[in-house]
Structure 1
């Protein structure tokens, strides 16, 4: 059971947020990295595979155990698996073209991805609270979330500062050419 928890925390609880951070901060702005998409896909695919293995073992153990039944944890796990599968299938359903449809697919992908991350975090804590050695697992995952959160916050602050500096530079450039 410990291996299943470790894989859930590593797969869905760590790799998926890293993939989201990669897509948000390394696609264009503030850092342009040409490999952002492959890193995003590798993190998301790896998180999905590892998380799904943990989910399958958790479903098996939950079905075989008469004593352990946590309906909230089970239902959240099924929702998470469904959302994650939809996100993975989105790689193959990416629309091509210049019409407005790709814009809405992108919005849905972002909303579903953020909902998936939030539900995953909630479900990991829900599962941890019902296990032995809960404090150890809880503080381990809190530490992981703190590292991810501080990283995302630092990148977001850097993004705001860089955007403000670019706006100021554009304002100065436009004033330089329009002065009498």
Structure 2
């Protein structure tokens, strides 16, 4: 197994462990907050203050969850897909396209998985964050992105006949995954404070990515005809 595949496997295992530890750590924080609230139950003002702190903390974690998933799954993974499509042969051939693709996918997966683990904890600890459709789609996305990361490590060699089918499956799952990610990000944004602000920020990111992809596709179509 090549060194970069071994590195990806190690990173996946680290993310899995982090997700478990993150949930345990955040649960411990929640219990300590509850304990502090019970110890100070005699003072109404202090209880109210503790409640405001807990609410502020949840909002901060919710914002962190959103930012990490927008950066990781919602931006880096699409960039990795653009690199794989447009930098491999045409229109912008780059000898390091595969390494760039792996870096984007790996960083996107790790950042998104950390954001996902925070979102799962918020969903388990508060009815306010218990968004059923958003949660289910998030689990599907995490499972699919993990499968894609393992697929990078287990891809057949070029001379293997099964490599063609591996590439087809990898590409189809990748595009489906990006579509689900975009839909789920907007699903989550709809339940946040200042939803319009969040929505337009991500619309701006998608617009830039779409414009770059469109320009590269035009070059892909035009350049072979220019060089005839």
| Same fold flag (TM > 0.5) | yes
- String of CA shifts for 1:50-70, please: whole Å, max 9, x gaps: 000000000001100023321
Check if 1:27 corresponds to 2:88: yes
Residue 131 of structure 1 deviates from its aligned partner by 1.1
**Contact 2:122–2:130 (CA under 8 A) maintained in structure 1:** no
Check if 1:94 corresponds to 2:94: no
Aligned to 1:156: 217
Aligned to 1:16: 77
1:31-50 mapped onto 2 (5 Å cutoff): 31-50=92-111
Residue 100 of structure 1 deviates from its aligned partner by 2.6
- String of CA shifts for 1:10-34, please: whole Å, max 9, x gaps: 0000000000001100011111101
Unaligned runs of 5+ in 1: 170-180
**Aligned counterparts of 2:128 and 2:158: Cα–Cα separation in 1:** 53
Aligned to 2:134: 73
- String of CA shifts for 1:102-130, please: whole Å, max 9, x gaps: 10000000000000000000000000001
Of the two, which has the highest radius of gyration?
2
Deviating beyond 3 angstroms after TM superposition, the runs of 4 or more aligned structure 1 residues are none
**Aligned counterparts of 1:51 and 1:97: Cα–Cα separation in 2:** 30
| Coordinate RMSD, CA, aligned | 1.0
Residue 97 of structure 1 deviates from its aligned partner by 5.2
Aligned to 2:189: 128
**Aligned counterparts of 1:157 and 1:47: Cα–Cα separation in 2:** 26
Which of the numbers 112, 119, 125 marks the counterpart of 1:51? 112
How many equivalent residue pairs?
167
Aligned to 1:173: none
Unaligned runs of 5+ in 2: 1-61
Check if 1:138 corresponds to 2:194: no
Aligned to 1:172: none
Which of the numbers 89, 102, 116 marks the counterpart of 2:177? 116
